[in-house]
């Protein structure tokens, strides 16, 4: 039953939220902020796709279109995807999984959030005062010579980078220093391993983005010339700096997602995760190797053949651990007791859509094939399959999985399934078509196109509307559940990680009694709770149970 006192009603009013040090409230604020960004980026995407439904101008000019796809990319990457799982779900769940009262640095956590807000304001400000038309990748010399709001946008992203760095610092220290007695590294839930690997990347890679953006600003504002061939500079150097961060950044996006999938599949199939150690260590391996492959974005940039070969080989090596994770998840399902909750449906969907995304990475990692596919819609489809079909689907799985814990309510599972179906059908229609268009030569970032591509664009755009419908339905039933949802039990899905051993929603200081950590994937002592609903632990008594 829903407790009387919990973190949501512990103090009320704007100040109790704006100045909160409670990781759970900060997580909720991030959830609202990042989902709001997803809405903004999504509307920009719908505008882009609508323009492309027909050849020639449809609803906007070429310049507006260029600003629109830049807005879509920059908002989605920097305001939404990179913070989303770590800052929204991670902030909420991580201390609970550790049986802790908060993250190591609660004030730094609050500062992270307000830095996100400041960065977002700069970016939004740049948009409303004229926009920026460089693409989210800001390649020089175009970005140093265009007269759109590059400096405001890049400065906003610079600030957002600090938000990300501070979150990473917080998570690393929390995991190192605030684990409960008995929870050795290999007894942590896999979501924590995933967040740890992510945090390492956030801390080590983001500063390189910071310096890259500062150099771009210096180039524009002071005419330094580091990227200008007329002044002895090299425009390709920008690409190296940029991708040195932005490739590891995609692992910031996918590692936490994989962490969610490990937990959701195991819990909703009532089955111990298969290959725990491999999955845990692969999070670190992927984080490390992810730093070595940035040049695969630059195979046709003029980089040497030797560099191309090394980057291509390393790119394939990173693919292997990800593939093995998929096999591990399937093996977890074997002989399980599979409950097709909305969370589980999204987790299973992840395997399919991320699978396609990952497999098409093989095409792009192969040098000879990438020459043909680079900068076409094939790449656009690939990264949407891994970022959207990967991270966003996993975010949806995580939202549905932890929603009862966060808000003390259950969602309407029937509407959840309908939403998932719409998202799945819409997503694949939108983006699978783009693979075919791309391998037929359709370049990306094109305002207009030749007649032979029109049919693909039409199908893709219609798919995007179906997908949007799925999202609007999902938003509707999530918000509706906050007002009318059935009260959630403490442990609706029968998980054994520590967040499920406290009330839904949790009290302000997380645990009435500090729990003892066990194997988070051992469900043998969890039985259905006929009275309160969900599951309860047999013989569980809190501290000192073992």
User: Segment 514-533, which members bind another protein (CB under 8 A)?
Assistant: 521, 523
| Encoded tokens for 54 | 């027909």
Pick from 448, 465, 507, 529: which binds another protein (CB under 8 A)?
448
Closest to another protein by CB, 179 or 405: 179
Query: Looking only at residues 52 through 81 of this chain, which bind another protein when binding is defined by CB under 8 A?
Result: 62-63, 66
Closest to another protein by CB, 36 or 337: 337
| Encoded tokens for 339 | 């409950």
Query: Looking only at residues 282 through 311 of this chain, which bind another protein when binding is defined by CB under 8 A?
Result: 299-302, 305, 308-309
Q: Residue 376 Cβ, how far from another protein at the closest point, in Å?
A: 7
Closest to another protein by CB, 35 or 457: 457
Q: Residue 361 Cβ, how far from another protein at the closest point, in Å?
A: 10
For residue 528, list its beta bridge partners: 535
3-state secondary structure of 68: helix
DSSP readout, 235-291? Answer: HHHHHHHHHHHHHHHHHHHHHHHHHHHHHHHHHHTT-PPTTHHHHHHHHHHHHHHGG
| Encoded tokens for 274 | 């298969």
Q: Residue 175 Cβ, how far from another protein at the closest point, in Å?
A: 10
Q: Residue 367 Cβ, how far from another protein at the closest point, in Å?
A: 4
Cα-based angle 348, 352, 353 (whole degrees, multiple of 5)? 110
Q: 254: which residues sit within 8 A by CB, 6+ positions away?
A: 322, 354, 386, 387, 390, 391
Query: Looking only at residues 124 through 183 of this chain, which bind another protein when binding is defined by CB under 8 A?
Result: 133-135, 139-142, 144-147, 165, 168-170, 172-174, 176-178
Name the CA radius of gyration of the chain, rounded: 23
Query: Looking only at residues 324 through 383 of this chain, which bind another protein when binding is defined by CB under 8 A?
Result: 324, 326-327, 330-331, 333-340, 348, 351-352, 355-356, 359-360, 362-363, 365-372, 374-376
Closest to another protein by CB, 267 or 468: 267
Binding-residue total with another protein (CB under 8 A): 135
Q: How far is CA 163 from the centre of its chain?
A: 15
Closest to another protein by CB, 209 or 503: 209
Q: How far apart are CA 380 and CA 14, in angstroms?
A: 41
Query: Looking only at residues 192 through 211 of this chain, which bind another protein when binding is defined by CB under 8 A?
Result: 203-208, 210-211
Closest to another protein by CB, 177 or 484: 177
3-state secondary structure of 159: helix
| Encoded tokens for 301 | 């940039």
Pick from 46, 53, 58, 105: which binds another protein (CB under 8 A)?
105
Residue 223 binding another protein, by CB under 8 A? yes
Residue 462 binding another protein, by CB under 8 A? no
Q: How far apart are CA 196 and CA 436, in angstroms?
A: 37
Closest to another protein by CB, 198 or 471: 198
User: Segment near another protein (CB under 8 A), from 8-16, 38-46, 186-194, 317-325?
Assistant: 317-325
Q: Give the residue from 52, 56, 84 showing the smallest Cα distance to 69.
A: 52
Pick from 123, 150, 194, 215: which binds another protein (CB under 8 A)?
215
Q: Residue 476 Cβ, how far from another protein at the closest point, in Å?
A: 27
Query: Looking only at residues 498 through 517 of this chain, which bind another protein when binding is defined by CB under 8 A?
Result: 509
User: Segment near another protein (CB under 8 A), from 109-117, 271-279, 425-433, 484-492?
Assistant: 271-279
122-129, Cβ contacts within 8 angstroms, sequence gap of 24 or more: 122/152, 122/153, 122/155, 122/156, 122/159, 123/74, 123/75, 123/78, 123/79, 123/152, 123/153, 123/156, 123/157, 123/160, 125/152, 125/156, 126/152, 126/153, 126/156, 127/67, 127/71, 127/153
Pick from 6, 72, 247, 271: which binds another protein (CB under 8 A)?
271
């Amino acid at each position: 039953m829903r407790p009387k006192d919990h973190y949501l009603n512990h103090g009320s009013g704007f100040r109790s939220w704006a100045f909160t040090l409670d990781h759970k409230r900060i997580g909720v604020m991030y959830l609202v902020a990042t989902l709001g960004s997803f809405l903004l980026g999504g509307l920009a995407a719908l505008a882009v796709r609508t323009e492309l439904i027909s050849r020639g101008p449809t609803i906007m000019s070429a310049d507006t279109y260029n600003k629109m796809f830049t807005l879509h990319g920059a908002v989605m990457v920097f305001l939404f995807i990179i913070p989303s799982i770590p800052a929204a779900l991670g902030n909420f769940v991580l201390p609970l999984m550790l049986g802790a009262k908060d993250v190591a640095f609660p004030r730094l956590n609050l500062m992270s959030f307000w830095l996100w807000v400041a960065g977002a304001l700069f970016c939004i400000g740049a948009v409303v005062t004229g926009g920026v038309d460089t693409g989210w990748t800001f390649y020089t010399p175009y970005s140093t010579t265009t007269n759109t709001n590059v400096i405001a946008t890049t400065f906003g992203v610079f600030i957002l980078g600090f938000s990300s760095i501070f979150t990473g610092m917080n998570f690393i220290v929390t995991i190192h220093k605030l684990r409960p007695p008995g929870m050795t590294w290999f007894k942590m839930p896999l979501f924590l391993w995933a967040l740890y690997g992510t945090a390492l990347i956030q801390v080590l890679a983001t500063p390189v983005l910071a310096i890259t953006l500062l150099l771009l600003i210096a180039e524009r504002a002071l005419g330094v010339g580091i990227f200008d061939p007329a002044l002895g500079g090299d425009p390709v150097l920008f690409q190296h700096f940029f991708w040195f961060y932005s490739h590891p950044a995609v692992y910031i996006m996918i590692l936490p997602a994989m962490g969610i999938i490990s937990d959701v599949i195991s819990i909703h199939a009532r089955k111990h995760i298969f290959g725990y150690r491999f999955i845990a260590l692969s999070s670190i391996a992927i984080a490390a190797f992810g730093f070595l492959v940035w040049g695969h974005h630059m195979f046709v940039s003029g980089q040497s053949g030797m560099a191309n070969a090394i980057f291509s080989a390393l790119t394939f090596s990173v693919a292997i651990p990800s593939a093995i994770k998929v096999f591990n998840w399937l093996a977890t399902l074997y002989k399980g007791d599979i409950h097709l909750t909305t969370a589980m449906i999204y987790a299973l969907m992840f395997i399919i859509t991320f699978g396609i995304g990952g497999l098409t990475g093989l095409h792009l990692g192969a040098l000879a094939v990438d020459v043909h596919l680079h900068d076409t819609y094939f790449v656009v489809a690939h990264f949407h399959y891994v970022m959207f079909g990967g991270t966003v689907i996993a975010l949806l799985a995580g939202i549905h999985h932890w929603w009862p814990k966060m808000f003390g309510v259950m969602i309407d599972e029937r509407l959840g399934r309908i939403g998932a179906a719409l998202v799945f059908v819409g997503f694949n229609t939108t983006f699978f078509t783009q693979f075919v268009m791309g391998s037929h030569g359709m370049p990306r970032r094109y305002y207009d196109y030749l007649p032979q591509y029109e049919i693909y664009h039409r199908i893709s755009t219609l798919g995007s509307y179906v997908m949007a419908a799925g999202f609007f339905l999902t938003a509707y039933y999530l918000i509706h559940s906050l007002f009318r949802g059935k009260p959630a039990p403490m442990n609706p899905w029968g998980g054994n990680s520590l967040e499920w051993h406290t009330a839904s929603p949790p009290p302000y200081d997380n645990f009435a009694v500090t729990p003892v950590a066990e194997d988070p994937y051992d469900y043998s002592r969890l039985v259905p709770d006929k009275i309160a609903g969900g599951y309860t632990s047999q013989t569980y008594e809190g501290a000192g149970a073992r």
